[in-house]
Structure 1
């Protein structure tokens, strides 16, 4: 009996365009004292491939017929002894890398071990990993192997892919000369794609000039909202400040909810009038009557997907605000004449209020893949027996 073990040494999270490394070990687990020395175990072949499966909700998404036919052909081709990486997988295969053969006719003595390293580049135009309400993209490394005169066995290692657009042209993010020109007389060090990506992320998500928004309704000004930036990485905190000092409309309560919008492409919608699917993550709610200033601190979950767009779905992020305002002025507590004197204020038993909503779009980018790997629930190793 040969045991096949595969692991991802760097973790299960990668950026599109990176090289993924997978360690694969084949061990003949039979003890030497149980068999004769001349008896060996043999595998006919082993092959490795990366695939991305897309599953959709039939009630919301209608895929083009050409894609459905190609998916059916891929799932039904081959037999028990051929390498079909998407065999048993659900949905549409939207990406497959070229299969790489590890070996042919591998013979292992009892207790012997052979180690192989699989490396492949994740295409830069690959869709990101995503688990939405209507669409799901999932990645796996598929390892197939077979004994002589036995069916093929598959070992699957799931991993996560995030996309940072424009890595091939950094000038896309160079709005004000953040990337200075390099000295042509110095020996240039070739940076890896991850180094370039981290440089881009630190630049586009850095604090620049603050953004100020006046929140008003038909009766006047409610508050002023201040944000230090509009672009964030997953794992960062969204920090904002409400200033009610110059407000003419009393605000009794406000709430801020972090939400993502999942919008299906028009040609893939099951119904023409189909709306946007909204997912809420974190909510901050606070009473603010007679408050001069208030702040919010909303964390972006590392397990979520950054904003992206594919042929089927587009994901955007926003902050959803709800303000409960009073229709009439509300008298506050009187200031005591003596500084040492305490004053008790009792609010009115009933307040005539109205609610107003506001959506503020924000940009959400991928984090450092190493940071995302530390919180993911995906397993980094798996094994089977052949």
Structure 2
């Protein structure tokens, strides 16, 4: 017999959490048929799966099932039984809840070129004398890394010796490195770019916005994600001023310039999950299924 609607939701607007937080799950059951209905049992469980890219998947040798597709379970909590042998009258509604602590040392939700990490809560229910059914509620998990290691100041910065810095380009980037295959070129994603003409300037300031839904740096046995500021300095040895005419100074039409790249790695921390809602207005916090 079918006719029981199951709604699984979390205790916030969007299903976004930090590692180390406790996620509270509410399961609502409602009988949608005109007669009484029953369920044998129901449980909830928290999962974290790792899915490797197509090139990294290891082909099974003797397995003929459809389960070996590069998907690996990194974490599964103990199943939490939330009800057993219940009966719902027509239109009756019952609510059950469970909670899970998200481990701090596991990777965050991430979809990259080499690997994907997904978090979700499964709700399993079973009618009497019928196969059990699963309902999955996806979660967005952000990692929270502490402490922060401040970069050391270097007195021998080679860029301080340049007299004429004409332009600088600053990019906020993430670098995704495949730790299982050195032949794969690291995947670089640019999140923000700033161009500044620094001719005749002693210093300059710029603002690069970090996306609210960005994934902080993390490392697993498969992938390493790091954040950096990539600088491209356009410098010249000669003065850009042309003083060929007496009493008149102009800018040279052509300059012999050289581009000098420099990478400065930074530590990015997760923001408040409630603020991530502003960057993820379309994410869901509940799922519904009829069983």
Question: Which residue of structure 2 lines up, in the alignment, with residue 109 of structure 1?
Answer: 89
Secondary structure class of the residue paired with 1:293 = coil
Residues 60-99 of structure 1: matches in 2 within 5 Å? 61=56, 75=67, 91-99=71-79
Instruction: Note the 1:254-273 alignment, pairs <5 A.
Output: 254-265=168-179, 268-269=180-181, 272-273=182-183
Q: Pick closer, same or farther for the CA change 1:353–1:72 going to 2, 3 Å.
A: farther
**CA apart distance, 1:302:** 1.8
Alignment partner, residue 271 of structure 2: 367
Instruction: Say which SS state the counterpart of residue 159 (structure 1) adopts.
Output: strand
CA shift, 1:210, in A, is 9.9
Aligned match of 2:288? 383
Give, in whole Å, the separation in 1 of the partners of 2:136 and 2:74. Answer: 17
1:303 correspondence with 2:213 = yes
Name 1:283's counterpart in structure 2.
193
Selected match of 1:23 from 26, 45, 48: 26
User: Secondary structure at the residue paired with 1:305?
Assistant: coil
CA gap 1:123/1:350 in 2 versus in 1, 3 angstroms: same
Gaps of 5+ in 2: none
Identify, as 1 or 2, the structure richer in strand. 2
Question: SS at the partner of 2:161?
Answer: strand
Per the alignment, in what secondary structure is the counterpart of residue 154 of structure 1?
Answer: strand
Q: Distance between the aligned counterparts of 1:288 and 1:17, measured in 2?
A: 44
In structure 1, the gaps of 5 or more residues are 77-88, 167-172, 174-203, 223-247, 338-342
Q: What is the Cα deviation at residue 385 of structure 1?
A: 1.0
Under a length normalisation based on structure 1, what TM-score does the superposition of the two structures give? Answer: 0.65
Superposition deviation, residue 364 in structure 1: 1.4
Q: Name which of 38, 45, 49 aligns with 1:49.
A: 45
- In the alignment, which residue of structure 2 is the partner of 1:356? 260
Which of 158, 162, 168 is the aligned partner of 1:216? Answer: 158
Please state if 1:319 is matched with 2:233.
no
Measure the CA separation in 1 of the matches of 2:82 and 2:70: 26
In 2: Cα distance, 1:331 partner to 1:72 partner: 73
Q: Is the 8 A contact 1:307 1:363 kept in 2?
A: yes
How far the C-alpha of 1:349 sits from its partner, in A, is 2.8
Partner SS, residue 365 of structure 1: coil
What TM-score do the two structures reach when normalised by structure 2?
Answer: 0.84
Q: Is 1:274 aligned to 2:184, yes or no? A: yes
Q: Shift in Å at residue 122 of structure 1?
A: 1.7
1:303 to 1:370, Cα distance in 2 relative to 1, 3 A: same
Q: Displacement, 1:72? A: 9.1
Give the Å deviation of 1:28. Answer: 1.1
Contact 1:12-1:373 at 8 Å conserved across structures = no
Quote the offset at 1:116 in angstroms. 0.5
Distance 1:144 1:151 in 2: 10
Query: Would the aligned equivalents of 2:143 and 2:215 in 1 still touch at CA under 8 Å?
Result: no
Deviation string for 1:90-124 (max 9, x for gaps)?
72221111111222222111110000011122223
SS of match in other structure, 1:370: helix
Alignment RMSD = 3.2
Give the distance between the partners of 1:72 and 1:371, measured in 2 at CA.
45
In the alignment, which residue of structure 2 is the partner of 1:129? 109
Q: Do the aligned residues in 2 keep the contact of 1:56 with 1:134 (CA within 8 Å)? A: yes
- Cα displacement string for residues 286-340 of structure 1 (whole angstroms, at most 9, x for unaligned residues): 222222332111111121111111122222111100011234321179xxx9xxx
> Are the aligned partners of 1:290 and 1:332 in contact in 2 as well (CA < 8 Å)?
no
In structure 2, distance between residues paired with 1:7 and 1:262: 32
Q: Residue 158 of structure 1: CA displacement?
A: 0.9
Q: Which structure shows the bigger proportion of residues in helix conformation?
A: 1
Shift in CA distance, 260/209, structure 1 to aligned 2, threshold 3 Å? closer
